[in-house]
Structure 1
């Protein structure tokens, strides 16, 4: 009976350590989620990803409190995790980095390395903000797919003028002809400062005789051909 009571009653020092660790893990997980949301560059992100970042650190912290040097329990945990299969694909490697970040913070807090966990969050958070502010990793050149469809003879004078400009690479990707109707696809690669020249060319093509439609698509939005 005494042994059972000893197992139920948690020492106050251990309880305070656990509560503080869980609270710190939630705070740092929330900070990581806020940094992710602020530095996200895409059009949108999974709404469930932010809560995942918040709860992942305290979950890992809880796991570390459970094992606490117990070799048998840690081996059993590894075996159980090997059974779990994550079927949600992670499309952005940046999301993977944030997941590892939250897991590492949970491991640090769970082993009571509180100071290191806080410093690591501050350093990595500052690094992510610097990358976001200097636009690190963003492409210097813009790439677009130009689709021209119409009938009769296609006047390629605007495209030749565009190709003769410096800093603009124009490549013919495909040409389909069916009777008088045609569809021509060009691949454009240019410095972003040349975007006004591209717009002028698109307007000239739209005004050309026989041209029905001119579409300018980003490569990630274009259909595979």
Structure 2
């Protein structure tokens, strides 16, 4: 008997084609899928709480929950059947996802959802829980503790150098950084990065009241502005 025939015989005589599911298997599937769903909801709420972009995408947040559950289901399938696992590897190798990720931090949540589904599908609950604790702690420290207040981009069109000096005097008590200054004939466009709170934007009215200021635009900064 050749090696190929021995492999075929060992596979065919194994229990991988047996569709009978025991009560223990059903309980394991229910526990793993429930745990994956709960962890998916946890990832959803963490993503919603620490989101720093301009527009929150609820569809993407829901996708994180579904990704956790589906990854767990795939892991449960391939962990008990070598034939399905080989077929799954071949199927996933030809799949191409072309959806652009606008926020780089979204990749962290995607990989968190995938790895959580894999670890729960392998019944490694402690690893999934400890991983969640470390990831949440990292996100809280880096995203919440490193920045106080909001960052805005202020674009002002005015005329005259004296007006520019007056604008900087109004900003003297604030933390700001000049990003660009463009001069067109008698009009000057000034772009300034300003740090402040949502409920303390009275400086815009003060600057707008300067006689030579023609208009003022304030945009919340999310890291994607190129001035």
TM-score normalised to the size of structure 1?
A: 0.73
1:187 to 179, 187, 191: 191
Return 125-134 or 62-71, whichever deviates more.
Answer: 125-134
User: Could you tell me how far apart the structure 1 residues matched to 2:195 and 2:60 are?
Assistant: 34
SS at match of 1:79: helix
1:173 to 165, 173, 181: 181
Matched, 1:158 2:163: yes
Matched, 1:52 2:53: no
Structure 2 contact 64–110 (Cα < 8 Å) conserved? yes
Relative to structure 1, the CA distance from residue 176 to residue 158 in structure 2 (aligned partners, 3 Å threshold; closer, same or farther) is closer
TM-score normalised to the size of structure 2?
A: 0.72
**1:57 CA drift (Å):** 1.2
Q: Give the gaps of 5 or more residues in structure 1.
A: 149-153
Query: Matches of residues 23-172 of structure 1 in structure 2 within 5 Å?
Result: 23-68=34-79, 73-134=84-145, 136=146, 143-148=153-158, 154-163=159-168
Root-mean-square deviation over aligned CA pairs: 3.6
**1:175-210: per-residue Cα shift (whole Å, max 9, x none)?**
334xxxx54211224564997666533311xx34xx
**1:124-174: per-residue Cα shift (whole Å, max 9, x none)?**
23443444542x2579975432223xxxxx433121244477565557632
Structure 1 contact 163–170 (Cα < 8 Å) conserved? no
Equivalent in the alignment of 1:7? 18
**1:85-125: per-residue Cα shift (whole Å, max 9, x none)?**
21211111221111111111111011111122123223323
Structure 1 contact 159–201 (Cα < 8 Å) conserved? no
SS at match of 2:18: helix
**1:45 CA drift (Å):** 1.5
Structure 1 contact 163–169 (Cα < 8 Å) conserved? no
User: Could you tell me how far apart the structure 2 residues matched to 1:191 and 1:48 are?
Assistant: 30
Matched, 1:202 2:221: no
User: Could you tell me how far apart the structure 2 residues matched to 1:8 and 1:69 are?
Assistant: 12
